[in-house]
Amino acid sequence: MKIRKLLRSSILPIYGYFFFAFVYAPILLIVVFSFNSNPVNMMIWEDFTFDWYKTIFGFTSAATESALYLDSTDQLYAAVKNSLVVALVTTAVATVFGTALALAIARFRFRFKPFYRALMFMPMIMPDILLGIALLIFFVSVGIELSVFTIIIGHCTFLVSYVFIVVSARIADMDEALEEASADLGANSWVTFRRVTLPMIMPGVVGGALLAFIISMDDLVITYFIAGVDSQTLPVFIYGMLRRGIKPEINAIATIMLLFSLIIASVGLYMRARKA
């Protein structure tokens, strides 16, 4: 009894605080450092500044002129643009194919169905580095030049799986009789899909799409192998910067990325809460 009481009153709460501290303190530190004006050692607080943000957005200022680590803001912009293009195209393709596959496996009867289902889980289980190397070898041997296009193909190969899994879970919750009811009331398969199936699985489709978008924006390992010289994405660009020492601008970039992910995740959570 006493131990249980002790657990509940002090040990468990402390454990909880530590848990959150370990998860969020590093992230919080980055946000704090992004406003630190010390250009040499960011661990030592000097003064509050927006200079690093100004640098990212291309404004030079007194403080940064002496310590301009960012080689060129043009490269940063190109990387952001590449990341957005890759993420948007990949999300669109992966969402359509992932949803279609989930529906096909849930609704149709065909041979080797468990095998195909397992096949869809494979890209999720496979280590990123393996997938990256495999894709690189494939592109080189087929003779496709590395570019934004190869990144999109690479991302689609595994993000289709993510969408498939999220949408499959939603389809499993849906009463199949609803589709029969629709057909019974005179709707052909397309009308049934548009009026019943799609609205019912929409939270899963949106959730899968947001997940695909965030993972695509965030991926470093696979992209690192299949990105061409002129087609760096933001994570690859940041990794390149890091190799030449940690620079204060990175904190600012990271904070903006964090904000961006937070907004997307909030939209996703909001949509899920509204539909459920």
Partner 1 sequence: MSPILSVKDATKRYSTPEGGTITALDGVSLDVQPNEFVTLLGPSGCGKTTLLRTISGFEDLEGGSIEIDGATVTHLPAHRRPVNTVFQRYALFPHLSIARNVAYSLEVAGLKRAEIGSRVGEMLELVGLDGFGDRKINQLSGGQQQRVALARSLVARPKILLLDEPLSALDKNLRQKMQQELKTLQEEVGIAFVFVTHDQEEALTMSDRVAVLSDGKIQQFGTPEDLYRRPRNEFVARFLGAGNLLGATVSECKDAGAIALLESGQVAHLPSTDAACGEKIKLLIRPEDVRMDCTKDAGALRFEGTVRQVLFVGTDYIVHIETDDGTELKATLRPRAEDRGAITAPGARITLFVQQEALHPVTSAKVA
**What are the CB-based long-range contacts (under 8 Å, 24+) for 65-72?**
66/39, 67/39, 67/40, 67/248, 69/241, 69/244, 69/245, 69/247, 69/248, 69/249, 70/241, 70/247, 70/249
Q: Which is nearer to partner 1, 85 or 200 (CB)?
A: 200
CA distance 218 to 236: 9
* CB neighbourhood size of 91 (10 A): 24
Q: Which is nearer to partner 1, 125 or 177 (CB)?
A: 177
Q: How far is the CB of 266 from partner 1 (least distance, A)?
A: 23
CA distance 242 to 251: 11
Instruction: Write the DSSP assignment of 63-74 as a string of letters.
Output: HHHHT---S-HH
Q: How far is the CB of 117 from partner 1 (least distance, A)?
A: 17
Q: Which is nearer to partner 1, 13 or 199 (CB)?
A: 199
Q: Which is nearer to partner 1, 28 or 181 (CB)?
A: 181
Q: How far is the CB of 110 from partner 1 (least distance, A)?
A: 14
Q: How far is the CB of 189 from partner 1 (least distance, A)?
A: 8
Q: How far is the CB of 275 from partner 1 (least distance, A)?
A: 9
Q: Which is nearer to partner 1, 74 or 175 (CB)?
A: 175
Q: How far is the CB of 190 from partner 1 (least distance, A)?
A: 11
Q: Which is nearer to partner 1, 29 or 181 (CB)?
A: 181
Q: Which is nearer to partner 1, 29 or 178 (CB)?
A: 178
Residues making contact with partner 1 (CB under 8 A) = 175, 177-178, 180-188, 191, 195-196, 199-200
Q: How far is the CB of 247 from partner 1 (least distance, A)?
A: 50
CA distance 245 to 248: 10
CA distance 16 to 170: 31
Helix orientation angle between 113-125 and 148-173, rounded to the nearest 10 degrees: 130
Q: Which is nearer to partner 1, 141 or 188 (CB)?
A: 188
Exposed, middle or buried by CB within 10 Å (0-12, 13-18, 19+), for 172? exposed
Q: How far is the CB of 191 from partner 1 (least distance, A)?
A: 6
CA distance 115 to 97: 18
Exposed, middle or buried by CB within 10 Å (0-12, 13-18, 19+), for 5? exposed
CA distance 73 to 55: 8
